[in-house]
Structure 1
Amino acid sequence: MAFWILLLLGLATYLIVRHSVADITQTPVWLLWLVLMTPAFILSGWTLINGAKIPPPPGLIIWPSLVSLLLYWVLFQRGRQLPADTHTPTTELQLPNSPAPEPEPVRPIELAEETNLRNCFPWSVYYIQNIEYRPQAVICRGQLRTTPSNAYQRIKTNIEGQFGDRFLVIFQEGMNGKPFFVLVPNAQAAKSKTNQDQEQLTKPGLALLLFAATLVTTTLVGVKIAGIEPTKLNSDFNLIFKGLPYALGLMTILGIHEFGHYITAKLYKIRTTLPYFIPVPFFLGTFGAFIQMRSPIPHRKALFDVSIAGPIAGFVVTLPLILWGLSHSDVVPLTAKTGFLNTNALNPSYSILIALLSRLALGSELTTNSAINLHPVAVAGFLGLIVTALNLMPVGQLDGGHIVHAMFGQRTAIVIGQVARLLLLLLSLIQEEFLLWAIILLFIPLIDEPAMNDVTELDNGRDLLGLLAMGLLLIIILPLPQAIARLF
């Protein structure tokens, strides 16, 4: 099993490096791959010498991982040092909601209008040096001479005064570290404001129908979690109410999570749909809930606030539910079948946060040789933590990917996302339950859509909140160290 995981890890690592950073660094792909795979090779060598039953010491996991990540970062940065006159490659441009390029190049503006465009860039704000015409886009490069926030607002106002609503104005950071402006033809301008206002985004009827269907499917799953065979419902339908604690708990967590996104998006006047649940008659009874935003994100501050609002809201409601559920759960002996995702015999030491919450709720009943048979409400709370952790993964268009994008910029977020995927694959060598997560993350693109002003950085308060969110992710997915477990 370990060999196949190592093989999968090696192939996945190579593909990730090749597709993610091969175009933005001159460091050989094989060298980056070798550096990232070094911790896995060391762990595999330990297992080969000492056997799978003897766990490796923590230092053998932590120090090689830290050194390899540091070396990877140094090699990546050295390879990114481009000549001063090198233009950013075409692949860097990621436009929100932009239409597909037409077969023949189309100039968004006429040559006669170029002078008017240049006049929109005061030399004291953004000294324009070069204008590139692309299919359905105009790229304006130059030197920033004021704060990014002031520059974006001034240039945007000037362009709207000169060209009206013909263009969406995007301010993005290039791979060479220099910010540039992009003018994209505004497809929505063709629609009258009346038609946009009449377009019904919320569809409350559909949202209510999906909510009701998901309540039914999660209740049926909750009946099984409560230990009741579904066939018994034929003789006593009142047993269906045994599934409501799980169903209501899980749907409350998922709903509050999405409403956190929804309400925050509304505060920034971002057009968005209501939360829609996804019912399924198996698994957890649902594949979660989602909203769709139908207008671009104005700036990185909005991107951060909308993204982090969901996990925070979901976590706040998860805490009391899981504490109540844990206090009504049964302590059972620890067995070989006990695992992280086994709710019939959950080993709390597989997660730092769950171990701490279990100790708080169960007190002296819980020992190092104990597992927990979760109450249905505790199952819902446990799944709420899993949903929070999965959403906080700093990869692509997950909430965590948006958060690191807003904190560090799109270029650094791509690297962080790649490292996160590889670390989760490495963690799956220790906890096989994470292998499915790691595979799912491989199919999530690393590139996130930019905000309209994707250059202005966040304030210190939001940066701190983002780091705390990443800390929450770590204490959910990392196992409790044995040294701390003995103190319990």
Structure 2
Amino acid sequence: MPNASSSSASSPRASSQGSSDRAWLHLLLFVLTLGSTIYAGMLWVNRAPYYETAGQWHLWLDGLRYAVPLLAFLTVHEFGHYFAARHHGINTSLPYYIPFPFNGIGNFGAVIRIREPIPSMRTLFDIGASGPVAGFVVALGILLYAFATLPPPEYLLDQPGHDALKTHIEQYGTFPDEPPSLADAEDETSVIVVGQTPLFWMLSQLFDNVPPMYEIYHYPVLFAGWLGLFFTALNLLPVGQLDGGHVLYALFGARWHRRLARLFVWILLLSGSIGFMEGIRPALLDYTAWGTWLAWGILAGILHLYNRSIFRQAPTLQLLSLGGLLLGTGLAELEWAGLHTIGYSGWLLWTLLILWLIRVEHPPVRQHEPLSSGRRWLGYLCIAIFISSFSVQPLSVV
């Protein structure tokens, strides 16, 4: 499964300017990441009946169809940061790829190490914006290629299981309008649904044979393109020292960065709280009649700790934030205004990483020269890319 904490964002780290790259280490990490990502792609695509007749080498080919475009996106993203930093004379490492075959996507992205403080606002902006923009271009190209080369729905007949879906395709030659587990009350199979984004939806309207969101992970290039959008959006979250935080800080300054970053972290916490209650409360009800109250108590304790970190010197804001999060989660439990459709518990983990590693606020920059007109328009483009690529519920299970 895609992990919400999986990101290729880079963050500045002070170090000596005399550090040098060990090319062999970066190459080794890349090869290991390629191997682990191929393995993850094999698991996702999983056309078992097809492999039995066409040969096992097609299994590796499907893995490559997933791994190559995904690593191409990660590589271009990180080298966007790298070349922008080198252009400004900033001492920067080559990308460190992070292989991990057990998180569902085969890696934890890639990072570069910036070995000295970034001195000026323009340099900060250039380094922060270059990676997401470059990576987005690649992700968009991957998606366009994937949509243009989609096989017919009969492609999924090679999947093991999926009996209700296969029956519908064999009868009508199309995908059903909703997951078969919802269309057939007797089918209790869980269905993994990948989150829709504005850009993905818009592109899907232009092509034929587009699979539903609960099946796209069986299409290796299409899934890699969706992950490209997802990773771009994660990097452009407008908080701390993520790429989006750099862009927001350079565009609007420290005060508005602090306000908007806190607001967005609050939104992530609300989504995470709703997802948490949807996941834990049914399990606790199996053990005790007090399960609902226990679940609310656990959630309130977790949110209290988060709010203390976000609003350190403002107890009133801590209380208001906690009350708003609990109220919003309660309304979602009542299915008010569709709030229950935005729950994703993974944001609680991602928010923890923000508070622990990335921070909500942005450190000061020494030189505050204004951005050029071209840079400001590029910043607005980054905001548009974020809005078009972000899904508040990137994964759900029906």
Q: TM-score w.r.t. structure 2 length?
A: 0.62
Q: Which residue of 2 aligns with 1:254?
A: 74
In structure 2, relative to structure 1, the CA distance for the partners of 1:435 and 1:326 (3 Å cut) is: farther
Q: Which residue of 1 aligns with 2:105?
A: 284
Matching residue within 458, 462, 482 for 2:371: 458
Larger strand proportion of the pair: 1
SS for the counterpart of 1:278 is strand
Q: Which residue of 1 aligns with 2:26?
A: 207
Report whether the alignment pairs 1:443 with 2:353. yes
Matching residue within 376, 393, 412 for 2:237: 393
In structure 2, relative to structure 1, the CA distance for the partners of 1:435 and 1:206 (3 Å cut) is: same
| Residue deviations 1:450-478 (CA, integer Å, cap 9, x gap) | 3331x222223322321221122122235
Instruction: Answer yes or no: is the 8 Å Cα contact 1:421–1:438 preserved in 2.
Output: no
Distance in 1 separating the partners of 2:67 and 2:13 = 36
Point out where structure 1 has 5 or more consecutive residues left out of the alignment: 1-95, 99-186, 189-195, 339-343, 480-488
RMSD across aligned C-alpha pairs, in angstroms? Answer: 3.0
Report whether the alignment pairs 1:216 with 2:31. no
In structure 2, relative to structure 1, the CA distance for the partners of 1:324 and 1:433 (3 Å cut) is: farther
| Residue deviations 1:293-333 (CA, integer Å, cap 9, x gap) | 00121211110111011110111001121122233154632
Distance in 2 separating the partners of 1:425 and 1:439 = 10
Distance in 2 separating the partners of 1:419 and 1:306 = 24
* 1:17-416 equivalent positions in 2, closer than 5 A: 197=18, 199-200=19-20, 202-228=21-47, 236=56, 239-282=59-102, 283-327=104-148, 328=150, 330=153, 332-333=175-176, 334-335=178-179, 350-362=196-208, 373-374=216-217, 375-416=219-260
| Residue deviations 1:176-232 (CA, integer Å, cap 9, x gap) | xxxxxxxxxxx96xxxxxxx55x32x2110000000001110111111122146xx8
Instruction: Answer yes or no: is the 8 Å Cα contact 2:66–2:223 preserved in 1.
Output: yes
Count of matched residue positions in the alignment of Structure 1 and Structure 2: 275
Distance in 1 separating the partners of 2:134 and 2:269 = 28
**CA shift for structure 1 position 240:** 2.0
Q: Which amino acid aligns with 1:257?
A: H
In structure 2, relative to structure 1, the CA distance for the partners of 1:426 and 1:468 (3 Å cut) is: farther
Distance in 1 separating the partners of 2:113 and 2:237 = 20
Instruction: Answer yes or no: is the 8 Å Cα contact 2:121–2:369 preserved in 1.
Output: yes
Distance in 2 separating the partners of 1:267 and 1:448 = 23
Q: Which residue of 2 aligns with 1:137?
A: none
SS for the counterpart of 2:108 is strand
SS for the counterpart of 2:205 is helix
Q: Which has the higher contact order (CA 8 A, sep 6+)?
A: 2
SS for the counterpart of 1:320 is helix
SS for the counterpart of 2:175 is strand
Q: Percent identity, aligned pairs only?
A: 36
Instruction: Answer yes or no: is the 8 Å Cα contact 1:332–1:372 preserved in 2.
Output: no
Q: TM-score w.r.t. structure 1 length?
A: 0.51
Distance in 2 separating the partners of 1:438 and 1:280 = 21
Q: Which amino acid aligns with 1:387?
A: F
Q: Which residue of 2 aligns with 1:418?
A: 262
Instruction: Answer yes or no: is the 8 Å Cα contact 2:146–2:221 preserved in 1.
Output: yes
**CA shift for structure 1 position 436:** 1.2
**CA shift for structure 1 position 376:** 0.3
Instruction: Answer yes or no: is the 8 Å Cα contact 2:271–2:347 preserved in 1.
Output: no
Instruction: Answer yes or no: is the 8 Å Cα contact 1:254–1:288 preserved in 2.
Output: yes
**CA shift for structure 1 position 236:** 4.0
In structure 2, relative to structure 1, the CA distance for the partners of 1:381 and 1:433 (3 Å cut) is: farther
| Residue deviations 1:363-417 (CA, integer Å, cap 9, x gap) | xx569x9865452000100000000011100011111011111112223212111
| Residue deviations 1:416-454 (CA, integer Å, cap 9, x gap) | 11011112334555344643135412431112233331x
In structure 2, relative to structure 1, the CA distance for the partners of 1:285 and 1:371 (3 Å cut) is: closer
In structure 2, relative to structure 1, the CA distance for the partners of 1:227 and 1:306 (3 Å cut) is: same
SS for the counterpart of 1:258 is helix
Larger helix proportion of the pair: 2
Higher Cα radius of gyration: 1
Instruction: Answer yes or no: is the 8 Å Cα contact 1:215–1:247 preserved in 2.
Output: yes
Instruction: Answer yes or no: is the 8 Å Cα contact 1:421–1:442 preserved in 2.
Output: no
Distance in 1 separating the partners of 2:138 and 2:389 = 16
